C-alpha cells in the first residue's frame, strides 16, 4: 500500500497518520451509535407493546421486521470491525513505516 500514499506523504503537509487515527475514532463512535439505534428501535417497539399494541401484531412485527433490522445493524457493526478498522490500522502502520524509512 505504500505506493498509494508515497507521493502524498512527500508533497502534502497534512498529518496523514492523525487523519487516519481520526477516521478510526469515528468508526468506533459510529459503531456505538449504530448499537444505540438498534437498541432504541427495540425499546421503542417494546414501549408500543406496553402502551397496548395487540400481542399478535407486536409479535409479528418484532419477529419478522424489527429483529431483522436489528440483526442487520449488528452485521454492519461487525463488518466495520472486521474490514474497515483493520484497513485503517494497516494504513496507519504503512504510514508509520514510510515515515520511519524517510525520516518523517
Q: What is the pLDDT of residues 33-86, one digit of tens each?
A: 999 999 999 999 999 999 999 999 999 999 999 999 999 999 999 999 999 999
Backbone angles phi, psi at 81, to 5 degrees: -70, -35
CA distance 96 to 90: 10
CA distance 67 to 73: 10
CA distance 92 to 60: 46
Domain ranges, ordered by start, for the chain: 19-101
CA distance 71 to 61: 14
Q: What is the pTM of this model?
A: 0.81
| Gyration radius of the chain's alpha carbons | 21
CA distance 73 to 39: 10
The per-residue pLDDT for 100 is: 85
* 97 in Cβ contact with 36 (< 8 Å): no
Amino acid at each position: 500500500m505504500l505506493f498509494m500514499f508515497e507521493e502524498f506523504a512527500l508533497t502534502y503537509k497534512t498529518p496523514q497518520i492523525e487523519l487516519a487515527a481520526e477516521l478510526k475514532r469515528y468508526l468506533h463512535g459510529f459503531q456505538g451509535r449504530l448499537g444505540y439505534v438498534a437498541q432504541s428501535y427495540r425499546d421503542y417497539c417494546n414501549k408500543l407493546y406496553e402502551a397496548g399494541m395487540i400481542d399478535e401484531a407486536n409479535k409479528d412485527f418484532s419477529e419478522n421486521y424489527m429483529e431483522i433490522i436489528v440483526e442487520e445493524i449488528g452485521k454492519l457493526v461487525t463488518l466495520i470491525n472486521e474490514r474497515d478498522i483493520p484497513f485503517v490500522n494497516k494504513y496507519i502502520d504503512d504510514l508509520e513505516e514510510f515515515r520511519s524509512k524517510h525520516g518523517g
